[in-house]
Amino acid sequence: MLQGTASSVGKSLLTAALCRIFFQDGYRVTPFKSQNMALNSFITEEGLEMGRAQVIQAEASNIAPSAKMNPILLKPTAEKAAQVIIKGKVYKNMTASQYHEFKPQLKTMIKEIYEELSNSFDIVVIEGAGSPAEINLKENDIVNMGMAEIADSPVILIGDIDRGGVFASIYGTIMLLEENERKRIKGIIINKFRGDRKILEPGLKMLEELVNVPVLGVMPYGDLNIEDEDSVTDRFKKSAKKENAIKVDVIRLPYISNFTDFHIIETLPQVELRYVSSTDKIVDSDLVIIPGSKNTISDLKYLKDTGLDKEIINSHKRGAVIFGICGGYQMLGKSLADPYSVEGNIKEMDGLGLLDIETKFEGSKVTTQVEGFVEATGTIFNSSIKPIKVAGYEIHMGRTLLGKNAMPLIHITKRFKDEANYFDGAVNETGNVFGTYLHGIFDDGEFTLEVINYLLEKRGMDRVDKAIDLRGYKENEYNKLAKLFRENIDMKAIYAILEDTLC
């Protein structure tokens, strides 16, 4: 099990590294995180919802993602409340105090699912959450030392040196644990290192003497491009300027969800992708994307309160293409209605008015995988090429109706591999505003290629001939991650920890 001294110390990525290494070494391996809090989620082939970090780890393990890898997912809906998803299905919304009281009821379920995975795989790599030393939350813990006890698992503790104070955070974490919990910690990894390791060596030796736990290695920053799911991701920082590149601006909403939708776009050398907040101006965009949101009406209010709504509309008037995904698609319409308070207390709000659509929040949550074709290509890409195949997954509550001035964007032909025949999304009459409920639509290389080429041609730049092979790209990045881990962390010691566990 990998635990950390705090949130965002790199547990998810190092879990993926171990998953890829164990897979490379011939083991059947699976990730597991009993409880995850994230707004980036995924829909499995069974229509179940899970955190994307475990999806990345499953890909690194070369297995299909399963909601069993993440039986509890918490999706914040307000400052002190979250939607609780259990075994891939929405349970209910709860406040923090309500969930804390509810947690003991989940232990048996977590234990059963963990044991099922443990019996099906050679190795389970468990990821913790936050810190095991949050002494106010230790009672009824089900994700850190409480999970280690359920699994009877050894623990490797990760500290983040980039944020400073790594020795104090590791020492303090260990000292705040109970004696039986401290005994579970078999190794320490220092993560996110920059600079000369020789300067660090004396501190590592002193730390080992203080806590009587070996340091297994120091993991440096690497030239890697692997999805992350945390809201404090470095992806939201200002991107480097690129010469002769098309400009793609993604609106950074307070409740932004599934910003992993844009991972593939970030890999393209022809694109400069930026995340735009309320303090930014949208001045030279070729494409403005309004992403998904866990609280669409609240985030739409944020756009209006900060003036970002006017920035988007003015950017459209200057010729930028506007694209909305899920909640972003809903915001592009004429109105959003929430008569049953599915999202909050605001019953209705005018949208941005860029698409002739209306959305009402009602009914059960839609969670499905779909395939289909973008058929309005003559309107969107100013060409008459053949329909473009797309695939993705839907996670939304709202139902959207199209008006007479909007055309369907995608003809859905498969739903969970079964034949289907309905339409998704919308495009305006001039083909420069469009939206869809499909998360992952940009993961399809052919569709992304057409979007990028359309924008390149508008700028008078050369087209790109080859579609993006996202799967091949990801495989290469996972292998690079595993190589970096092997070069800097003592894998012999990790295997020895595993052997001791089996004895």
pLDDT tens readout for residues 224-264? 989 876 544 555 665 667 878 999 999 999 999 998 899 88
Contacts of 276 (CB under 8 A, 6+ apart): 249, 250, 251, 252, 282, 308, 311
Query: Which pLDDT score, from 0 to 100, does residue 466 have?
Result: 84
Active-site pick, 19, 316, 326, 411: 326
Q: How far is CA 332 from the centre of its chain?
A: 23
Domains delineated in the chain:
2-226+475-502 (3.40.50.300), 245-460 (3.40.50.880)
Q: Which residues pair with 78 in a beta bridge?
A: 81
More confident residue, 58 or 264: 58
Query: Which pLDDT score, from 0 to 100, does residue 344 have?
Result: 83
Dump the DSSP string for 323-362. EEETHHHHHTSSEEE-TT-SS-S--EEE---SSSEEEEEE
Most confident region among 235-239, 291-295, 463-467 by mean pLDDT: 291-295
Query: Which pLDDT score, from 0 to 100, does residue 237 have?
Result: 62
Residue 82 has pLDDT above 80, yes or no: yes
Residue 223 has pLDDT above 90, yes or no: no
Nearest CA among 117, 142, 119 for reference residue 132: 142
Mean pLDDT of 362-377: 87
pLDDT tens profile 2-32: 999 999 999 999 999 999 999 999 999 999 9
**Which residue's entry shows tokens 């009914």?**
363
Query: Which pLDDT score, from 0 to 100, does residue 278 have?
Result: 84
pLDDT tens profile 411-437: 999 999 899 999 999 999 988 999 999
Residue 442 has pLDDT above 70, yes or no: yes
**Which residue's entry shows tokens 């001294």?**
5
Look up 439 and say whether it is catalytic. Answer: yes
Residue 470, Cβ density class (10 Å: 0-12 exposed, 13-18 middle, ≥19 buried): middle
Contact (Cβ atoms closer than 8 angstroms) between residue 416 and residue 47: yes
Mean pLDDT of 195-215: 96
Contact (Cβ atoms closer than 8 angstroms) between residue 315 and residue 282: yes
**pTM for this structure?**
0.91
Query: Which pLDDT score, from 0 to 100, does residue 235 have?
Result: 58
Question: For residues 435 and 352, what is the distance between their CA atoms, to the nearest angstrom?
Answer: 13
Mean pLDDT of 107-116: 98
Nearest CA among 379, 427, 372 for reference residue 405: 427
The mean of the pLDDT values for the chain is 93
Look up 19 and say whether it is catalytic. Answer: no
Residue 172 has pLDDT above 80, yes or no: yes
Query: Which pLDDT score, from 0 to 100, does residue 167 have?
Result: 97
